């Protein structure tokens, strides 16, 4: 699968310990929504749109809670009108196919757009968008509770 997993959110993780479950879920959902938006932008920017099905179906998976936090995975889901999995399409476009995925075969030496790492290659930018959305939601929760960090 072409999925991004990010760690190193120490500041946000430390504040998770002081927040309630509902607050943690809101923060994680805000980050997942921002990640989905950024991934849709990357799909469009890299011209990986034919029918728009893959781009429209980038969304977070269900929320999973664990001790001290929560998680949501974001990736293209469902299938297109022809029954092709959008997840598989994203994987092939991200990683490429064959031994030399960036060059087309059949004698032509054209540049192929598969294997361009449009999901896994922009980890820093994606992490920055997610971190900012999570921090903004954290600040919103704190202001709603009157500045009390106990949720």
Under the banding of pLDDT at 50, 70 and 90, the label for residue 135 is very high
The DSSP code for 79 is: B
- pLDDT, position 6: 55
Query: What is the pLDDT, as a whole number, of residue 123?
Result: 83
Q: Is residue 40 part of a domain?
A: yes
Determine, yes or no, domain membership for 139: yes
Question: Which range, of 43-52, 64-73, 107-116, 137-146, averages the lowest pLDDT?
Answer: 107-116
Spatial distance between the Cα atoms of 14 and 22, rounded to a whole number of angstroms: 16
Please indicate, yes or no, if residue 51 is contained in any of the structural domains: yes
Residue 33 lies in a domain: yes
What is the average pLDDT value for the chain, to the nearest integer? 81
Kindly tell me if the per-residue pLDDT of 151 is higher than 60. no
Query: In this structure, is residue 41 part of a structural domain?
Result: yes
Q: What is the pLDDT of residue 98?
A: 66
How far is it, in rounded angstroms, from Cα 130 to Cα 126? 6
Number of domains in the chain: 1
- 85 found inside a domain: no
pTM of the model: 0.74
**Of 122, 136, 121, 123, which is closest to residue 8 (Cα–Cα)?**
123
* Count of helices and strands (H, E) across the chain: 5, 4
The answer, yes or no, to whether residue 1 has pLDDT greater than 50, is no
CA 126 to chain centre: 7
Range of the domain at 50: 10-77+122-144
89 to each of 28, 45, 48, 83, how far by Cα in Å? Answer: 26, 16, 10, 11
**Residue 92 maps to a domain:** no
Residue 90: inside a domain: no
């Amino acid at each position: 699968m072409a999925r991004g997993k990010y760690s190193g959110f120490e500041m946000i993780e430390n504040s998770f310990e002081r927040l309630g479950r509902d607050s943690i879920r809101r923060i994680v959902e805000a980050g997942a929504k921002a990640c989905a938006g950024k991934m849709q932008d990357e799909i469009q920017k890299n011209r990986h749109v034919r029918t728009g099905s893959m781009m429209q179906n980038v969304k977070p998976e269900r929320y999973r809670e664990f001790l001290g936090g929560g998680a949501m995975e974001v990736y293209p889901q469902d299938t297109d009108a022809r029954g092709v999995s959008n997840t598989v399409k994203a994987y092939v476009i991200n990683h490429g196919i064959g031994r030399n995925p960036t060059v087309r075969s059949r004698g032509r030496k054209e540049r192929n757009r598969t294997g361009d790492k449009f999901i896994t290659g922009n980890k820093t930018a994606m992490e920055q968008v997610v971190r900012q959305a999570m921090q903004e939601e954290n600040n919103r929760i704190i202001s709603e509770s009157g500045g009390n960090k106990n949720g």
